[in-house]
Amino acid sequence: MRLYCDHCGYPQKTCICSDINAVSTSLEIVIIQHEKEASHAKNTARLITLCIPTTRIVLANDSIAMQSLSEQCLLKRTALIYPSEESTPIEKAAPTVLSQIDTLILLDGSWKQAFGLVKQNPWLTELQNFHFTSAPPSNYSIRHTTLNKALSTLEATAYAIQCIEETDVSGLHNAQRALQNLWQGPTSHRRQL
């Protein structure tokens, strides 16, 4: 039987607690997670909750939680990171616009899953939508993707926080690096960066 760390939730053999550093943000971070992503050992949403413990993960197939989230977000100054037709490059947004955001929503899943989440939850398109035009390349090598500019959920969260608050997000990147270094899956599953 495999033993797991009580704090980070990873197998004790690959515990990353020593590599977890808190990231300070005034933003409320909410991750809408596709149900298939929740069971992936390599998903980075868990890492975000370790570095930013106030992060909330809402499973997309939990209709009650999603309804509650939609009601809360429409009352707040909430932004969604998603490249919709109406989205604005976050890098070109006025500082006054960014400073008004108090809640940041990210979608955790493949691009196809994220597209489906937006279609199933049209209230998301009523929020202010942002996309990235100058994000650094992904350093997440243990997930497969054929998209050139695809970021892990952690990388997207870190970049969005940095754009909005210009705060130190190195704790997030360190946690992702630690997960990759300790990950014991087949090397054939790693993509070339």
Would you state the pLDDT for residue 37? Answer: 87
* Amino acid code (one letter) for 119: K
**What is the enclosing helix (H) or strand (E) of 83?**
none
Whole-prediction pTM: 0.90
Would you state the pLDDT for residue 12? Answer: 87
Instruction: Give helix 170-182 / helix 153-165 axis angle, nearest 10°.
Output: 170
CA–centroid distance for 6 within its chain: 22
Mean pLDDT (the chain, rounded): 89
Would you state the pLDDT for residue 146? Answer: 56
Would you state the pLDDT for residue 59? Answer: 97
In 12-69, at which residue ranges do the beta strands (DSSP E only) sit? Answer: 28-33, 56-59
- pLDDT lower than 70: segments of the chain: 141-149, 184-193
CA angle 80, 45, 56 (to 5 degrees): 65
What are the tens digits of pLDDT across the range 116-169?
Answer: 999 999 999 999 999 999 998 887 766 655 555 679 999 999 999 999 998 999
Would you state the pLDDT for residue 35? Answer: 93
User: What gap in Å lies between CA 175 and CA 45, rounded to an integer?
Assistant: 11
In 139-188, at which residue ranges do the beta strands (DSSP E only) sit? Answer: none
Would you state the pLDDT for residue 187? Answer: 54
Who's near 4: CB < 8 A, 6+ residues apart?
10, 11, 12
Would you state the pLDDT for residue 121? Answer: 96
Beta bridge partners of 108: 33
Would you state the pLDDT for residue 185? Answer: 59
Which one, of 54, 35, 55, 36, lies nearest residue 45 by Cα?
55
